[in-house]
Amino acid sequence: MIEKIPFLHRQRMYNIVIEEDITFTALHGILDDLIGQGAFEAAEDCGELYRVMHGDVHYTVGVDGIDVFISIK
pLDDT number for residue 43: 61
pTM for this predicted structure: 0.88
**Alpha helix positions (H), 1-73:** 24-36
| β-strand partners of 60 | 51, 71
The residue-averaged pLDDT of 1-15 equals 91
pLDDT tens digits, residue range 26-56? 999 999 999 999 999 866 566 889 999 999 9
pLDDT number for residue 15: 97
- DSSP symbol at 45: T
* Domain edges within the chain: 3-72
